[in-house]
Structure 1
Amino acid sequence: MSDEVQSRIQALVDGNDVLLFMKGSPLFPQCGFSSRAVAILNHMGVDFESVDVLQDQGVRQGIKAFSDWPTIPQLYVKGEFVGGSDIMMEMYESGELADLFVEKGLAAS
Structure 2
Amino acid sequence: MMSKNNSQSGFARSPCPITSALDLVGDKWTLVILRDLALGKSRYKQFQESPENIPSNILADRLRRMEEHDLLVKTAYQQRPPRYEYRLTQKGRDLIPLLHVLAKWSLKYRLGCWDPPERFWSL
Q: TM-score range by the shorter chain?
A: 0.3 to 0.5
TM-score (norm 1): 0.33
TM-score (norm 2): 0.30
Structure (1/2) with the larger strand percentage:
1
Structure with larger RCO (C-alpha < 8 A, sep 6+)? 1
